[in-house]
Structure 1
Amino acid sequence: MLPTELLIHRYSGEEIIPKRLKLEATNVAIASELISLFRDVVGQTQGKLNRQLQELEGDTPDYRMKRGLAHLLKSAMCTFEIISPLEPQQLRERVFAFAANTLPSPQATPQTLNRLADSLSKELEREVFPDQIRAGLYADLAENRILTQFEEPTPEALLHRYNLSQVQGVFYKASHIILNVHRNDPGEYKLLFRYLKLFQLMTYIEGDADHGFTITIDGPASLFKVSTRYGLDIAKLIPAMLHVTKWNLKATLQTRDFYTNEPKLRHFSLKDDCGLVTHYPPGKPYDSMLEASFADRWDSLKSEWKLEREVDLIPIPGSVMIPDFRLVHPDGRTFLLEIVGYWRPEYLRKKFSQVRQSGCDNLILAISERLNLEKAGVKVQDTPAKIIWFKDKLAPKAVLAAIADSN
């Protein structure tokens, strides 16, 4: 996404209109030139990349647009790494220690680097050259990091990403969002709700899969203290929306008047025919690395129980619950598994309230021992589910044991 200073929009009454770039020859040429620049700098420093971007940017009036495109390439499609024989801080200590044993002089520097290169070659069991030491001394500075990988997009894909990022930036200061989704495939609803869960958004949900859902989302400007981080989480939802066929949303934005600096409400609306293109994969995301790790470990377990990711929506008042996994036995028995590893108190209270309202008698709740449930005001003993406690990783065998105890 784009930082606030690179967002470009205009006003039409109370409506805010973010800038979008047309896929025309001029814009495609600018995107192509930037992509070519990044491609040519692979293997070189971030400092050199920045200097070349400044030269390309020049003093043209469209510098913010070029800077925005470059930001997306750098932040989303580049990998910068520290290249050094040792961690730079350790390397500096070693160089300074060697240098302390000689009189400071221009002639002593090459001797110090040669001696340390010989020492490190023996220690690391690979050849280390003086030039590598010289380059690695301050390799941890941002400008000295090396561009090692560049996932080159097409010019059109970069322009689509830019347009999407400009729209996402509108939601940084949203105070209230109403999202209507209707007449969609059940799989699209599930994917949307998984993203809502993934980004830990504060929502109130009404409706069902047959008639559609109305989802009310509280924005960062509705909190007692505006949270930029939460605004970013809302913005992350927009690419997920583009996987849904029928939808529309209206957002209320808490902005300030340009002249008086007084608070001013503005509005923004978006719908399924907006023409934006998502870069999110259509697959079903895991809500955390914890869930992904559990699924991988289950695959290596020889068990009659089949682990399923696609779980039906469980409607509850004001929301829906989508358990993380379903366990299915060949004889027809099923259990639902929900993993609770997120620490935010309001999330914990909401999660346990959902469990109590779900009415599921086949639910297994796996809870991290690191969570301070008492501080969050959660009483586990009031939870009508089978409880499993875990530390860092949830063991599949612990889940199988819980199933066995339930029989």
Structure 2
Amino acid sequence: MSWCQRKRVKSSLLIEEGDMMLTNDLMRVRTKGKNIEPILLKNTPKYKGYAEQLVDLFLYAEKMALSRAEIVEVIRDLTALEVDHKILKGLSKIMLDRCEFIIPSLPLEDPPSSFELRMRVFQAAAQEGSFSQAPIEQRKSRNEILEYVCSELNLEDRNSEEKTSDNKEEGALDVLIQPKELEAALYADLKELHLLSNYNGPKEGDRLLERYNISMCQALLLRSTSVVVEIPFLDIKWLRFLFRYIKFHQLIYDISTDNECAIDEEHFSEMMSSEEGLSEDCSTKGMALTIKLDGPQSLFKQSTRYGMQLALFFPALVALPCSWTLNAEVLWGKKRKFRKKMTLSAQNNLKSHYKALGVWRSRAEEVFEDRYNEYYVKEQKAAESGKEQKKSSSALSSKKTRKKLKPKLWKLNRGRVVLGKGQQVFFPDFCFTHNNDSIFMEIVGFWRGGELKKKIKSAPKNYFFVVSKRLAGEAGKKIGAKEMERVVDFAEVISLPKVVKKLEDLG
């Protein structure tokens, strides 16, 4: 296929296989009683050597535009004499699934497809070939048939270029199709002859081993009937990141929270200082959030598609910086009659290839937190000084001061998961607390009026939204007066007086 490497392919069909899982014959698991667990690869020199060898192969294949058949042949030679041939095949399967192949075509202005080329060659052979009805002296050999079709293609291409000769540079040489090139293009639409154009997989041995372990777990999740995920105390940004993937993949879920593990500033500081991201108080009291997901084997229809969505969600769970736990019921065996229990956790040291998008804190959020904390400290000192003045004042003056009801002083904490109507999940950025009362505040990014109205209707009564005027969608800049009772708008800096006023109204 060297003819296609020297010339520019002007018309090609892109074939992208995307994210795929390991097949049943490539899975490596360990069963013990009713338990099952994937056999994960450790980053040892032996396995790292396998991975680096395959990475070098695919990078070379991308550079030289090798065909799929040539790549598979090299992989077959590598695995022929290896004891761990299943591991090598699994690693190569992951890499092949991240490759983009093209169908090569002839370097013509409007190149015909392989099917059209075969039709022209076969028709010419039927009319003037060795086994045609033409006189013996007029019959053509195989090479002559190919040369005849090449001359027709070159003539057609030259005529099409003459129509657009205004844009053609002077002295440009015409590219003539040779019989060998035509012969190679006859069956270029076969999958084995597709050429590697782009490799999007891991380009380091360590990353390939990490992707292999993730794929092994995903393959088992395809057989699950139910999945239960337990997440300890975690910053609200990461929870929002996780549920973004749950909703994007349209998974069926049911959640419950543990209110005993309160999320406040003290716990947040402990979490940030802990290596695992879990405070000691939360670990002793239990998990803060439990998510139950339906497995693909629990559905009657489209179980394969749903299973793929569940498997694609798994790397998002692995990306969480906390001690998460996943318990799944897996159907095992050729007929999937045996029910096994699989447990995965952060202790497996899995590494996700998903990027943690949207977990950063905005400048408006940081500025508001600093300003409100200053306001809280100032008001708290004023309240303490007021108590001392009350002790030294007369009984008459104390009665007058009691009649004046001062507004509640709300303490600012980091947000926690809030359940709304119909299993609607909310992720407030802040939680204001006073004694046993709580008010939640969520900073909304880009928004539309219709979507914001739905969120307001589903949100609890002690929940309000802070929205940016500059990030309003064109289709929904206006919000009704009733909805505005739960909204605080801002331009660049969140107004502290507006938030304090909203706390007084809701408190």
Q: Same fold (TM over 0.5)?
A: yes
Cross-structure match for 1:44: 66
Matched, 1:139 2:217: no
Gaps of 5+ in 2: 1-20, 131-140, 165-173, 264-286, 360-415, 428-442, 466-470, 482-507
Flag the 1:63–1:22 CA change in 2: closer, same or farther, 3 A: same
User: Pick from 73, 81, 90: which aligns with 2:102?
Assistant: 81
User: Pick from 226, 236, 244: which aligns with 2:320?
Assistant: 244
- Whether the 8 Å contact between 1:178 and 1:249 is mirrored in structure 2 is yes
Cross-structure match for 1:68: 90
Deviates more, 1:172-181 or 1:123-132: 123-132
Q: 2:187 and 2:203 mapped to 1: Cα distance?
A: 31
Flag the 1:262–1:140 CA change in 2: closer, same or farther, 3 A: closer
Flag the 1:320–1:121 CA change in 2: closer, same or farther, 3 A: farther
Flag the 1:406–1:336 CA change in 2: closer, same or farther, 3 A: closer
- What is the Cα-based RMSD across aligned positions, in Å? 3.6
The alpha carbon displacement at 1:69 in A equals: 0.5
Opposite residue 88 of structure 1, the aligned amino acid is S
Q: 1:230 and 1:32 mapped to 2: Cα distance?
A: 33
Cross-structure match for 1:179: 229
Cross-structure match for 2:419: 315
Cross-structure match for 2:300: 224
Flag the 1:137–1:313 CA change in 2: closer, same or farther, 3 A: farther
Helix, strand or coil for the counterpart of 1:32?
helix
- Residues 63-87 of structure 1 deviation map (CA, whole Å, 9 limit, x = unaligned): 11111010011112x2211111333
Cross-structure match for 1:375: none
Helix, strand or coil for the counterpart of 1:214?
strand
Cross-structure match for 1:264: 338
- Whether the 8 Å contact between 2:449 and 2:476 is mirrored in structure 1 is no
- Residues 81-112 of structure 1 deviation map (CA, whole Å, 9 limit, x = unaligned): 11113333344445556666644532222222
Number of corresponding residues = 326
Deviates more, 1:227-236 or 1:44-53: 227-236
* Structure with greater strand share of residues: 1
Opposite residue 29 of structure 2, the aligned amino acid is H
Opposite residue 239 of structure 1, the aligned amino acid is P
Opposite residue 166 of structure 1, the aligned amino acid is M
Gaps of 5+ in 1: 286-311, 329-333, 340-351, 364-395
Flag the 1:326–1:122 CA change in 2: closer, same or farther, 3 A: farther
Opposite residue 82 of structure 1, the aligned amino acid is I
Q: 1:200 and 1:122 mapped to 2: Cα distance?
A: 54
Cross-structure match for 1:123: 160
Helix, strand or coil for the counterpart of 1:400?
coil
Cross-structure match for 2:27: 7
- Residues 207-260 of structure 1 deviation map (CA, whole Å, 9 limit, x = unaligned): 38948321100101212357122222211122111221222121111224x7xx
- Residues 21-68 of structure 1 deviation map (CA, whole Å, 9 limit, x = unaligned): 121111111112222222333312111111111111104332111110
Helix, strand or coil for the counterpart of 2:189?
coil
The alpha carbon displacement at 1:403 in A equals: 3.0
TM-score norm. by structure 2 comes to 0.57
The alpha carbon displacement at 1:313 in A equals: 7.2
User: Pick from 344, 347, 358: which aligns with 1:273?
Assistant: 347
- Residues 129-161 of structure 1 deviation map (CA, whole Å, 9 limit, x = unaligned): 234433332222110100122345111111111
Helix, strand or coil for the counterpart of 2:348?
coil
- Residues 366-395 of structure 1 deviation map (CA, whole Å, 9 limit, x = unaligned): xxxxxxxxxxxxxxxxxxxxxxxxxxxxxx
- Whether the 8 Å contact between 2:68 and 2:191 is mirrored in structure 1 is yes
Opposite residue 47 of structure 2, the aligned amino acid is N
- Whether the 8 Å contact between 1:84 and 1:135 is mirrored in structure 2 is no
| Identical positions, percent | 25
User: Pick from 246, 249, 253: which aligns with 2:330?
Assistant: 253
TM-score norm. by structure 1 comes to 0.69
- Residues 314-351 of structure 1 deviation map (CA, whole Å, 9 limit, x = unaligned): 732434168xx9566xxxxx745659xxxxxxxxxxxx
Q: Whose radius of gyration is greater, 1 or 2?
A: 2
Matched, 1:108 2:145: yes
